[in-house]
Structure 1
Amino acid sequence: MLSPLRKANLYLTTFGLLKVPFIWLCRPKIIHLDQSKVEIKIPLKRRTKNHLNSMYFGVLAVGADVAGGYMAMNKAQQRGERVSLAFKEVEGKFFKRPEADVHFICDDGVLIDSMLDETLATGERVNQPVKITAICPSLHGDEPMAEFSLVLSLKKIVKKTVH
C-alpha cells in the first residue's frame, strides 16, 4: 500500500507527464502535505538552472504554480468534487539567487478550504491570492529567496445532464 505522500507524488508525476510536460521536466517532489501546508522541492540540476548557476525564474514559477495548485486539486479530490483551477495573476519578488534545491511552501490551506466551500455552495468562480515562499534550506535555512502571490481561481465543475 502506498503512503499518502507517495500517492501524491505519483499523481503529480502523472499529471505533469500527461497534462503539463514542463512540470514533469522540472521533477517537483512533494515533501510535506497536510490540511494547511504543502512543501514542494525542485532540484537544482542542469535542466532547471540558468547561466548564473541558479534556478531559472521560469522554473521558480513552475514551483509556485505546483505549490499553490496542488493543494487546491488535492482538497477538491478529498471532497469527491471536481473543480476548474487556474491562476489569473502572478506577482513575484526575487530576493536572492537560489543556488541549490528550492523548496516552495504554501500554507494557505484554510483559505483554499473556504474558497472550495464557496464555489461548491454557489457554483460561482472564486478568486483569491495565495502566497508561496521559495527557500533554499541547504544554503540559507528559512530565508526567502523569492515570494509569489498567485490569484487562484476555482469554480465547481457541474456535470451536464443529457435529456
Structure 2
Amino acid sequence: MKISVSNLNKFLFFKLPSAFICGVRVKEIDENRCVSTVKHRWINQNPFNSMYFAVQAMAAELTTGSLVMLEIQKSGKNISMLVANNKGNYSKKATGRINFTCSDGFLVSQAVQKAIATGEGQTFWMKSIGTNEKGEQVSEMDFEWSVRLKLS
C-alpha cells in the first residue's frame, strides 16, 4: 500500500475498524509530520461528557505509526514495527474536533537507517499533541516504537 491520506483512511476501515467507527481520520502526512483528527461524538464519549481517553490514544498513535509506516515503505526493506510503551497526559476536556499532530518524522528516519545498517532493533519515542478547535492543548501522548529488520 502506498502511504497517502486516502489509503491510510481505507486502512483504518479494514484493519482498525474501532478507530474508524469512532471517527478517527488522517488529515495530512508528509515525511516529517502527520495530523489526524477526531470529533467528540456520542460513540466516543466518556461519562464526563468529553472524548474517551482510548479514542484520543488511537488518534495519537495513528500519527506516529503512519510516519513509521511511511519511512519503512521508503526504505524498501522488510522491517517490523511495534509499540513497546506509551504514556499520556490529559490537560483539558476533549470536546469538539481534536487534531493530533506528530512532527517526529526525523526520529523514524534515523532509527530505520540505523536498524538497516546494524541489523539490530532500534527503539525511539515519538510525541503526538492533541489540540482543540481553539488551539488549546488537551492531551499529549508519547509512544515508544521498536523497529527491526526482518530476516528473510
Q: Same fold (TM over 0.5)?
A: yes
Report the equivalent of 1:51.
Answer: 47
Report the equivalent of 1:20.
Answer: 16
AA aligned to 1:153 is: S
Q: Residue 157 and residue 59 in structure 1: after superposition, are their counterparts in 2 closer, same or farther (change >3 A)?
A: same
Identity of aligned residues (%): 24
Q: Distance in 2 between matches of 1:103 and 1:81?
A: 31
> Normalising to structure 1: TM-score of the pair?
0.84
Q: Residue 28 and residue 82 in structure 1: after superposition, are their counterparts in 2 closer, same or farther (change >3 A)?
A: farther
User: Based on CA coordinates, which of the two structures has the bigger radius of gyration?
Assistant: 1
Secondary structure at 2:71 match in 1? helix
Moved more, 62-71 or 46-55: 46-55
CA contact (8 A) 2:130 2:138 kept: yes
User: 1:79 is matched with which residue: 68, 75, 78?
Assistant: 75
> Unpaired segments of 5 or more residues in structure 1?
none
Secondary structure at 1:121 match in 2? helix
Q: Residue 31 and residue 14 in structure 1: after superposition, are their counterparts in 2 closer, same or farther (change >3 A)?
A: closer
- Is 2:113 aligned against 1:117? yes
CA contact (8 A) 1:8 1:30 kept: no
State the 1:54 CA deviation.
Answer: 1.2
State the 1:52 CA deviation.
Answer: 2.3
Question: Deviations for 1:115-160, whole angstroms, at most 9, x for unmatched residues?
Answer: 1111122221111111111111x2x21x21111111111112232x
- Is 2:29 aligned against 1:36? no
* Alignment RMSD: 1.8
> Unpaired segments of 5 or more residues in structure 2?
none
Q: Residue 14 and residue 148 in structure 1: after superposition, are their counterparts in 2 closer, same or farther (change >3 A)?
A: same
Q: Which runs of 4+ in 1 moved over 6 A?
A: none
State the 1:53 CA deviation.
Answer: 2.4
Q: Residue 110 and residue 89 in structure 1: after superposition, are their counterparts in 2 closer, same or farther (change >3 A)?
A: same
